[in-house]
Chains A and B, each alone.
Chain A
Amino acid sequence: MKNPDAIVIGAGIVGASSALSLTNAGLKVLVIDRGAVSSGTTGAGEGNILVSDKDPGPELTLALHSRNLWFEMQEDVGDSFELEAKGGVVVARRDDAPLMKLATEQSQHGVTIEKCNHARLHELEPYLHPDISSGVFYPQDAQCQPMLAAAHVIRAVVQRGGEFISQAKVTRICVENGAVTGIETSRGTFNAPIIVNATGTWAGEIAQLAGSHLPIAPRKGFILVTEPTKKYIFHKVYDSDYVANVASSDADLQTSTVVEGTRSGTILIGASRERVGFDGSMNYEVLRTLAAQATSLFPVLRDVQLLRAYRGFRPYAPDHLPVIGQDAQVKGLWHSAGHEGAGIGLAPGSAALITDAILGRESFMDGAAFSPQRFATVRV
């Protein structure tokens, strides 16, 4: 496909969703990736599709719509990626006032909440530490298997006339008169007037190739995976510290407690955030902290063995909002990147936003808050 209607760079969940959305809108789409499907952050994701962790504002609006689009995508592509509306339980270990306040605000903006007392909390999660007595249940939170999702979505794109080329590293983005005309890669040159940069943590490098700029940086996170166990965890469970950490700009290590089960019986435990560039080395102190936090929420996990631990690099922008929209300088270059730890949940919603913007039609929300224009600096 030498002259597709659009090229999507990045075959993670954001790229895959964008490609599907554009394909379903009638475009011939070429997806390329320097590696294989899900070889970036998507391959290190837990599969979170959350509304519970977002403050009212544009990101919550995006998250709510995107969550519903996930279920539409399942209808469209098939039930092949373990999508489950399992619901989230956020617990307050200490003072529950901030959590309750947030929940009330969220409920006024489309989020379904159920404030839980001790009895209800322990009915939802029987293995939760008995001292924890306050929390909120968010039935809209969901989970999927993100690598499978990206792979099946790419497959659907190909089945519907698109193409996917892996192991193709972009070496140049061709710009003429301020507009993109195509890309050069290690596997050939491709021409298109529309390029979608869905390269996540590496989106800044791609922007640079086009002579533009995107301030997206990595935020490292570890996940512990346990051996398969009897079902101990019934929803995604996390403590209300998680929300504060996401919004923080501290470079130092921050951890919060996030625990959830999976279809295969293993339990995933997070979450840590560090700005250490792309240093991927193992950090046993972080693993211990995550283990300590998880076992303090669920004492039964003390006897459960660690199977493995892995890390990924979340892509984030300085204001912790995703970057969705046309590049500030280069026409035809569209970005959908910087989704930080919410990339999976926000992927189809971002895809819808960007497809609408590319086709010049009204979208389900005003995406101005996500626009790359917000980083445009005055040129001297």
Chain B
Amino acid sequence: MTQTISFTFNGATIECEAGQSIASALINEDQRELQRTRFGDEPRSIFCGIGICFDCVVVINGVANQRSCLIEAQDGMNIESAQ
């Protein structure tokens, strides 16, 4: 039995199963855009999926550049696209 957990992404509440990565939870909810680039403000999403490319980075509880494809979503996390 997998537990449902919920976190916020840019203020919106997202639900997923415990053990899923933040990126997979967002993509599952059709939230494809994860961050915007710092010079060109271009949208980026998951790219390599295994923690090499850093395109999937988000801000978790105020800490920037966290790889959402690797990090498991935890209940109550406050996640944002940018600081």
Contact = CB atoms under 8 A, between A and B. Distances in A.
Judge A-B direct contact (beta carbons within 8 Å): yes
B83 A230 contact: yes
Nearest to A226: B65
Contacts of B63: 303
Nearest to A227: B65
A126 to B, nearest CB: 15
A228 B83 CA distance: 12
Contacts of B64: 227, 229-230
A145 B64 CA distance: 25
Given A228-B38, A265-B38, A305 B65 contact: yes
Interface string A204-241: 00000000000000000000000111100000000000
Interface in B9-68: 38, 63-65
Interface residues on A, range: under 10
A303 B66 CA distance: 11
A173 B32 CA distance: 63
Contacts of A305: 65
A156 B65 CA distance: 39
Interface residues of B, number: 5
Interface in A257-278: 265
Contacts of B65: 227-228, 305
A311 to B, nearest CB: 24
A228 B59 CA distance: 13
Nearest to B63: A303
B45 to A, nearest CB: 19
A227 B59 CA distance: 13
Contacts of B83: 229-230
Nearest to B83: A230
A105 B64 CA distance: 43
Nearest to A230: B83
Interface in A283-338: 303, 305
A294 to B, nearest CB: 17
Contacts of B38: 228, 265
Contacts of A228: 38, 65
A229 to B, nearest CB: 7
Nearest to B54: A227
Nearest to A307: B65
B79 to A, nearest CB: 16
A305 B65 CA distance: 9
Interface string B62-79: 011100000000000000
A24 B35 CA distance: 48
Contacts of A227: 64-65
A15 B5 CA distance: 61
B36 to A, nearest CB: 13
Nearest to A304: B64
A305 B63 CA distance: 10
A227 B64 CA distance: 9
A228 to B, nearest CB: 6
Nearest to A229: B64
Contacts of A230: 64, 83
Nearest to B82: A230
A274 B13 CA distance: 53
A305 to B, nearest CB: 6
A303 B83 CA distance: 13
Interface of B: 38, 63-65, 83
Given A228-B65, A230-B64, 9 more contacts: A227-B64, A227-B65, A228-B38, A229-B64, A229-B83, A230-B83, A265-B38, A303-B63, A305-B65
Interface of A: 227-230, 265, 303, 305
7 contacts: A227-B64, A229-B64, A230-B64, A230-B83, A265-B38, A303-B63, A305-B65
- 3 smallest beta-carbon distances between A and B, as pairs: A230-B83, A227-B65, A303-B63
